Structure 1
Amino acid sequence: KISDEKISPDGSRFRCPRCSSVLLVKKPQKKATEINKNLVMVAHSDEAVAEKAAKLLRAERYDVITVRDGIEAMVTALNRLPLIAIIDVALPKIEGFEVCRRLKGRPETEEIGVILVPSVYDKSKYKRPPSTLYGADDYIEEDEIEENLIRKINNLKKEKPTAEEQVSSPMTEKTESPSATKPLSDEGIERARRFIRTVLSDIFIYNPERVNEAIGSGTFREVFKSQLTEGFKLYQMRIAQEVRDKGDFFQEEVEEFIERKKKELEG
């Protein structure tokens, strides 16, 4: 067991003496009972983007929690009740727009302000508002974060009912106990999968009705052949050959995306 004194507010990495795996350990956190008016959650699968947003927010004296996947985002939002949640649509495990839909559908989290990050994977192609925000209060493109994030957050904060400011708790999140923390994944493979999820999330968030119709009729690959082909070409350009040789990650992620959407439509 690792004592709490050895764990930093954002978590600390330790090497397991038995298997030599490097583990990210975070302190457990008590569940909040009301919205923390000074807390912002940044849920983004790209650590660099998350840290860029967190740095801007901390400079404005906000407390910040960063998480990397949809399950972490749901658990953290439910237990910490941040004022604002910035959510990447391409989160692994549970997609960002699904996290948004669930948070807005629960009475204890419906007042959390949500800003979606629907980053277009090909920046040179086009830029237009998403077809739907899935209940989110606003959205921001990745390349607009430095210029517009604080303004959007402050606007949302003004729209929320005024209440006595809370004293923020330490910048940690509720996680599994240290003994249950999983080893860090291969960074190259995760980067590859993150890129593919971004391609698929962008296809969906800009064409939700067409995607659902194609999934339902079993023609997703045919209907979006040009977008998938373009995405695969960019995948080959941006992901190193040595990483791509480790598995057919593009097809795996496409198949997982189709299966998830089928279950959602059936449910």
Structure 2
Amino acid sequence: MVIECPFCSTRFSFDQRRLDGKRVKIRCAKCGGVFSQEIRAEQYPHNQLRTLVAHGDRTLCLAIGDLLTRGGIGWQACQNGMRVLPSLKSWTPEVLLIDVALPGVPGFRLVEQVRNDSYLENTKVILISSSYNRKAYKRPPGDLYGADACIEVHRLESDLVPLISELTGRLRHKTGSEEQRDPGQSGIAEPAATPGKPPGGDSAPAADREKARQLAEMIAADIVLFHQDLVDEGVRSGRVYDLLADPIAEGHRTFARRLPGISGGEVYLRLALEKMIARRGNELFQAKQQK
């Protein structure tokens, strides 16, 4: 187990088996700072493959956890992006399974942080696409934000464990086709949103505004993920919204279907898309400058 000093970020290795379930005081050998650390009891065999599941939907986390357990994989879950990096460093799983639009810090941002941390360079990252309409996207995702793979919610049951096996080389499982599973009959349901009250502009309840913002970010992330070529062409030509007219229209319909009691979906989605497109435009500009 690796523990990080909160004062100077120096990392220490501990034999977790000797300290399971205890709270210990640690003095940093580098800066002299003293801090407390709870050593969580080891839940899994020492050599068991482990996965951190980061998704805002608790029910989906539990369903994924059941899949992993049946596949012989240890797992823990967190439902807020602020907890992902600390969990990765304290528990050191080999695989991070993360929602593209995770609450707190969106998944696509966290992937960038993981990839910029040398301590996590061997961590395999799988994005869970927030793809709410399995018929909407007929192409593979274009930009994985640095992740190793992407999986859609409705394919988790048939493909997740084989995908982890392929990425890590640690497991040997049948593929989804060998098991003859029908992805349309997956036992994992897509996360359902709870309808909210009409927000009435800025006077809307904070919970409704947050719900709408998160859904808009999920939709925007999916649009950019599955239409990277159109986004890049649109950024270069200044015609982003013309080229993305069809997926944006589908996004509006999805927003209305998922949150039927909340108005203003077009505005929420436009703001979310503008942030995503600005990010991509900055990446393209930097790439051009480096040539």
TM-score range, shorter chain: 0.5 to 0.7
Q: Percent identity, please.
A: 26
Which residue of structure 2 aligns with residue 244 of structure 1? Answer: 263
Residue 138 of structure 1 deviates from its aligned partner by: 2.8
Q: Which position in structure 2 is the counterpart of 1:18?
A: none
Match of 1:137 in 2: 148
Residue 101 of structure 1 and its aligned partner are, at CA, apart by 3.5
Alignment partner of 1:125: what SS?
coil
CA distance in 1 between partners of 2:278 and 2:98 (Å): 22
Q: Residue in 1 aligned with 2:188? A: none
Which of 1 and 2 has higher RCO (CA within 8 Å, sep 6+)?
A: 1
1:231-254 alpha-carbon deviations (Å, 9 max, x no partner): 11221122132x337995334433
Q: Provide the secondary structure at the position in 2 that maps to 1:82.
A: coil
Among 222, 226, 232, which residue is 2:252 paired with? 232
Deviations 1:119-172 (A, max 9, x none): 423222233321243443333221111122222223333259xxxxxxxxxxxx
Q: Could you say if the C-alpha distance between residues 123 and 246 of structure 1 is closer, same or farther in structure 2, counting changes exceeding 3 Å?
A: closer
Rate the CA distance shift 1:234–1:145 in 2: closer, same or farther, 3 A: same
Counterparts of 2:269 and 2:97 in 1: how far apart (Å)?
26
Is structure 2 residue 212 aligned with structure 1 residue 201? no
Q: What is the CA-CA distance between 1:57 and the residue it aligns to?
A: 1.8
**Deviation for aligned residue 1:84:** 0.9
**1:82–1:239: structure 2 CA closer, same or farther, 3 Å change rule?**
same
TM-score, length-scaled by structure 1: 0.64
Q: Deviations over 1:51-72 (max 9, x none)?
A: 2112222344533222234333
Alignment of 1:75-224 (within 5 A): 75-158=86-169, 188-212=208-232, 214-215=234-235, 219-224=239-244
CA contact (8 A) 1:120 1:202 kept: yes
User: Counterpart in 2 of 1:73?
Assistant: 84
The answer as to 2:276 corresponding to 1:257 is: yes
Gaps of at least 5 residues in structure 2 are 1-20, 22-35, 41-45, 172-204, 287-291
How many residues are treated as equivalent by the alignment? Answer: 214
Change (3 A) 1:102 1:82: same
Q: Distance in 2 between matches of 1:191 and 1:98?
A: 19
For the pair shown, the structure with the greater C-alpha radius of gyration is 2
* Structure 1 residues not aligned, in runs of 5+: 1-8, 10-26, 161-184
What value does the CA root-mean-square deviation take over the aligned residues?
3.7
Instruction: Answer yes or no: is the 8 Å Cα contact 2:100–2:218 preserved in 1.
Output: yes
Q: 1:188 to 1:59 in 2, by over 3 A?
A: farther
Residue by residue, what CA displacement relative to the aligned partner does 1:173-232 show, whole Å, maximum 9, x if unpaired? Answer: xxxxxxxxxxxx966554433332222111111233542453466543343233212211
CA distance in 2, matches of 1:191, 1:99: 20
Once the 2 structures are TM-superposed, how far is the Cα of residue 74 of structure 1 from its aligned partner? 3.0
